[in-house]
Amino acid sequence: MADADNQPLPTNDSFIALRYKDFRSYLGIRFFFTFAYQMQTTVLGFYIYQLTHSKVAIAFVGLAEAIPAVTIALYGGYIADKYEKRKMLLFVYAGAFLAALIMYAVTLNSIRAYVPVGWILPVMYTMIFCNGVMRAFYGPAAFTVYAHSVPREVYPNASTWSSSSWQAASILGPMAGGFIYGFSNRIVPGLSGITATFFTILIFLLLSIILVYRLRKYPPVFVPKENIWKSLSEGIHFVFNNKIMLYAMSLDLFSVFFGGAVALLPVFALDILKVGSEGLGLMRMAASLGAAITMVVMARFSPMNRPWRNLLIAVAGFGCSIIGFGLARSFYLALLFLFAQGAFDSVSVVIRGTIMQLLTPDHMRGRVSAVNSMFLSSSNEIGDFESGMAAKLLGTVPAVLFGGSMTLLIVSLTYFKSKKLIPLSLNEISVVEVKEELSV
């Protein structure tokens, strides 16, 4: 496939984004890293719940990653705007590889004989914290690489392919993690499931590092002359004065904060549906499978004709799916609702991603991505903490039903605050003067 760097390509080509070499490399990096990350997230929650049978312990898995990801995010965006992006990504992936290597080491039978059981959880939480630090730098750098790997007119198509790559990895990663965790001991007697899973994670992280070398260098487009605090405040000021962007971020933050049930899947797998690690892998896979199939459909039928209307519908469907999952007592019915949850979420991901790319000027991509990371990327982990604590206080099923209901309430409030955006097309949203079109 020829690159499109030197010649114009028709924007109605469903594969146009794939004709750019750096974008193909970016997709590979995103796939392998997400595959490893989803495997790790799946087995860590299950492993920790098996060790402790504590919903609070699950809650702290999300919190351990969210704290550094949120607190360092703005600085990560500042650095991403200021420094070369490929070098930053190499630093990030090397850090993630080292953290996974340490977690792999403490699960080895030969090493565990010398490691007190009480040390395992602190080591795991510390490495999860380190992953949060890496994420604070990864998001802004990757956001900039993605934005410059294709021209602006290709953003909608690129957003679909980027999200599809993420969803494909999110399908295969949890499924592979669950089955490797559950079956490795049966295939190789004496081999710990958690050890085999982390070995696989290390392989995929190494593939990500190799693919980063295929990227060209991305020098900074922003050289700050003012101090760091003034520079960071510009990014915050830009986001909070762009009401379209702020509404989109807030909608995702609060819907995922209250509506995320992912952290409680180990509880459903072990205690409610009783399907073990293999069932957990299938449940994690179901949402991503629904998202991936929807992504393929959206590559042909774009949701951008009335993006804000479609965004609100998608988030409302997400909330209804969460409620349905909480009420389900059949494993297959639970899979169906998780499939629907992923399908609705994928629509909102593509719409929000495209709006973010179109509304962000080049010289502020790192800092705006950092603010976006504080709202979106860490909302999953903060939502995991909320889900775990709510399950401890209310019970697992009531916590899920409460979260889904809160999501529907948030969509309703956003609808009344943003009625003027509903009839607008994507082009109209990208050029609208927010202060004239919307009231705070």
Domain regions of the chain by residue span: 17-437
Give the closest residue to 129 by CA, choosing from 68, 205, 174: 68
- C-beta separation of 414 from 243 below 8 A: no
pTM to 2 decimal places: 0.68
Query: For residue 433, what pLDDT is reported?
Result: 42
Dihedral of the alpha carbons of 295, 297, 302, 308, in degrees to the nearest 10: -60
Q: How far apart are the first and last CA of the chain?
A: 48
Give dist(CA 259, CA 83) in Å, integer: 36
pLDDT, averaged per 10 consecutive residues of the chain (440 residues), comes to 46 73 87 90 85 81 79 73 81 91 83 68 89 81 79 78 79 84 70 85 93 81 60 67 73 71 81 84 83 79 79 90 91 93 84 73 65 62 74 85 88 84 67 45
Give me the pLDDT at residue 1, please.
Answer: 38
Helix (H) or strand (E) holding 389: helix 379-394
Q: Give CA–CA dist 35/98, Å, rounded.
A: 17
CATH number 1.10.1060.10 given to 17-437: no
Q: What's residue 205's pLDDT?
A: 94
* Residue 292: closest CA among 160, 155, 174: 160
For residues 412 and 190, what is the distance between their CA atoms, to the nearest angstrom?
53
CA distance 428 to 422: 11
pLDDT at 209: 92
pLDDT value at residue 317 = 92
| pLDDT at 2 (0 to 100) | 40
